[in-house]
């Protein structure tokens, strides 16, 4: 049983690293979106510091939406998803493993970019630490909640925009709490409450969403 799960995990990682070019795409997208803001709004360091946390988080949400579409699509199209579901393993666990590996290879690397982005937007060290912590807790939440909608739209032709329409309103609370944590850090205030709420949402999502993902995959598989 455990060997099978490990097999699923290894297969996901191997597949992800076969397409190295695709792994870099969300990172470049995020970098470019963030670059647009100083150009569009003006390079004043104080303005940038004021809007920085929100800009980085919005860019993170958009680029994770962009990468998320690939989460189940190829497996759905070549039928391997169906085979995994017929394997007798709990679909929820398979889904959780797939989401986790997807976060590891496509959303997690956004964290590596964060120092550069923080520098671009003139964040202080305190703000950067808070930003890193919110990204660390928040991006897995994006992946787990987003995977439900990905599972639902995987069978739909051209589901990309639909996915964004479904998920953006759902991600709003995360955006609010995360940016408010960074803003508190900027004012030297404690931001543990915001982190605790994001953590609670993450735990809830990890506990519940695998079952919802499994159901949504069954709906799509019909």
Partner 1 sequence: MWKWLHPYAKTERAYQLCQILQPWFWAGALLCLAVGTVWGLAFAPQDYQQGDSFRIIYIHVPSAILSMSTYVAMAVAAVVGLVWQWRTAFMAMIAMAPVGAVMTFIALFTGAAWGKPMWGAWWVWDARLTSELILLFLYLGVIALYGAFDDKLQGGKAAGVMALVGVVNVPIIHYSVEWWNTLHQGATISKFDKPSIAPEMLWPLLLNLLGFALFIAAVTVMRMRNEIILREMQRPWVKAMADKAEGDRHAV
The site for partner 1 (CB under 8 A) is made up of: 145, 148-149, 152-153, 155-156, 159, 162, 165-166, 168-170, 172-173, 176-177, 180, 201, 212, 215-216, 219-220, 222
Nearer to partner 1, 109 or 160 (CB): 160
Closest CA to 56 of 81, 31, 76: 31
Assess contact for 103 and 143: CB atoms under 8 A: yes
Nearer to partner 1, 26 or 54 (CB): 54
**Residue 170 C-beta: closest distance to partner 1, Å:** 5
Contacts of 70 (CB under 8 A, 6+ apart): 22, 102, 106
CA angle 38, 44, 49 (to 5 degrees): 80
**Residue 184 C-beta: closest distance to partner 1, Å:** 12
**Residue 1 C-beta: closest distance to partner 1, Å:** 28
Nearer to partner 1, 9 or 168 (CB): 168
**Residue 181 C-beta: closest distance to partner 1, Å:** 12
The b/e string for 156-189 (b: 16+ C-beta within 10 A; e otherwise) is eeebeeebbebbeeebeebbebbbbbbbbbbeee
What is the C-alpha to C-alpha distance for residues 140 and 55, in angstroms, rounded to an integer? 19
Nearer to partner 1, 105 or 181 (CB): 181
Nearer to partner 1, 21 or 169 (CB): 169
**Residue 207 C-beta: closest distance to partner 1, Å:** 12
């Amino acid at each position: 049983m455990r060997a099978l799960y490990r097999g699923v995990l290894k297969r996901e990682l191997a597949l992800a690293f076969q397409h190295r070019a695709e792994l870099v795409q969300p990172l470049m997208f995020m970098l470019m979106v963030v670059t647009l803001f100083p150009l569009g709004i003006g390079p004043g360091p104080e303005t940038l510091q004021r809007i920085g946390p929100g800009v980085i988080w919005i860019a993170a949400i958009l680029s994770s939406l962009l990468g998320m579409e690939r989460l189940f699509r190829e497996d759905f199209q070549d039928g391997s998803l169906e085979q995994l579901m017929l394997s007798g393993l709990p679909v929820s666990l398979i889904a959780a493993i797939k989401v986790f590996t997807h976060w590891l290879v496509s959303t997690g690397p956004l964290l590596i970019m964060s120092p550069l982005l923080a520098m671009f937007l003139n964040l202080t060290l305190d703000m950067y630490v808070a930003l890193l912590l919110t990204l660390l807790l928040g991006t897995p939440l994006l992946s787990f909640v987003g995977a439900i909608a990905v599972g639902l739209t995987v069978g739909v032709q051209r589901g990309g925009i639909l996915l964004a329409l479904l998920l953006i309103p759902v991600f709003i609370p995360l955006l609010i709490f995360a940016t408010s944590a960074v803003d508190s850090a900027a004012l030297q205030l404690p931001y543990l409450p915001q982190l605790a709420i994001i953590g609670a949402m993450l735990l809830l999502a990890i506990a519940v969403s695998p079952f919802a993902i499994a159901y949504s995959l069954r709906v799509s598989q019909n």
